[in-house]
Structure 1
């Protein structure tokens, strides 16, 4: 084996080490990419009016709640683009993959009918690395929010996983706080404490405690 061959093999191993990709990973990536674009081609179009923009606890706008009750999920790293693209009360056409429950759609395209602009979901940029969520969580602001339940998002087992309060407060319940749907329903008044963020379009909170307010 000559020197050039050794250098070439060494560079190849270095590339694998840096990217973490193997031949199997590359094939899986290619298949998933093909499946993704095939799914987009057959994605249904859903129309609705924006009720709230949804903010996660880290202050990223990663979705919409339509007046129909449909939750539109969008990549969190495109938060700024989504906020600039659509506002409350505007009508949109969404294309994406609808969940089995029919509660959510993972959108790849949001067409603002008022402006005529279309926002396309993009893959997360390479090198856009953030600390683990449990580390980021410690830096969030302690907060208490109170309001009337406007919408409830339910998990596979019927447990409440997200509560949206009036005025666009998005509250996410961790597994140990998950409640059955009968325990939290639209119209109830709650006080929620935890950690989260406040933005110009709403608040997002990771709930640590749920208190029911009698009316």
Structure 2
């Protein structure tokens, strides 16, 4: 978003309570005060992680899509006065390379605390009560909205990536779980 002047955008201030990872293990956002999702592009992840920690108070200037409660960060103002600005990806031929990450097949069960969205407001997954984020392509997430809504109890299967910043399950199957069928293995492909 290098073409947008951050000074003209609204500010949102809060305390970073959790980082969010994409399925490649790269930080691509965080939560403010446990409920406001802030998205930043993966090319900013390394810079953000060097300067922002859980517990820090930050001020974000960004764009808020009409359809979702996510802020696509254009700038992040840190408590020490430093400002991280999204100038867009590098254009000198040294583009953003995906890190090689180890994943492992697993299943998780939990209650959805928050639906997760992409920077344009597209539904992309959910955050569970144990801190695990579930991620899937937006077309699959749209078809499975009921499973990704706050309060839904779900069981999901897929490939997990974990690092010092968090854990994300790239969902291959998901099922609603009720108390009556807590032992059921019925799943729906993502």
Please classify the TM superposition score into its range, dividing by the shorter chain length: 0.7 to 0.9
Deviation at 1:202, TM superposition (A): 0.6
Query: Does structure 2 conserve the Cα–Cα contact (< 8 Å) formed by 1:48 and 1:92?
Result: yes
CA distance in 2 between counterparts of 1:195 and 1:177 reads 16
Q: Deviation of residue 127 (structure 1)? A: 2.7
Give the structure with higher Rg (CA): 1
- Higher fraction of helix: 1
What residue is the counterpart of 1:127 in the other structure? 94
Greater strand content: 2
Match of 2:83 in 1: 118
Calculate the aligned-residue CA RMSD, in Å.
3.0
Does the Cα contact within 8 Å between 1:70 and 1:104 map onto a contact in 2? Answer: yes
How many residue pairs were aligned? Answer: 173
2:10 pairs with one of 26, 31, 44: 44
Distance 1:100 1:159 in 2: 10
1:164 paired with 2:124, answer no
What are the ranges of 5 or more consecutive residues in structure 1 without an aligned counterpart? 1-31
Deviation at 1:102? 4.8
Change (3 A) 1:190 1:95: same
2-structure distance, mates of 1:171, 1:143: 12
Report the CA distance shift for 1:181/1:203 in structure 2 as closer, same or farther (over 3 A): same
Counterparts in 2 of 1:146 and 1:122: CA distance versus 1, 3 Å: farther
User: Is the Cα–Cα contact under 8 Å of residues 58 and 197 in structure 1 kept in the other structure?
Assistant: yes
Whether the 8 Å CA contact 2:77–2:83 is kept in 1: the answer is yes
* Compared CA separation, residues 68 and 100, structure 1 to 2 (3 A): farther
TM-score (norm 1): 0.67
The match for 2:188 is: none
Asked whether the 8 Å contact 2:70–2:117 carries over to 1, the reply is: no
Q: What's the CA shift string for 1:161-211, capped at 9, x where partnerless?
A: 310113432211332354454444323332221124111111122211113
CA distance 1:148–1:117, shift in 2 (3 Å): farther
1:147 CA displacement: 2.6
| Distance in 2, Cα, partners of 1:177 & 1:72 | 19
Unpaired runs of at least 5, structure 2: 180-190
- Higher mean displacement: 71-80 or 158-167: 158-167
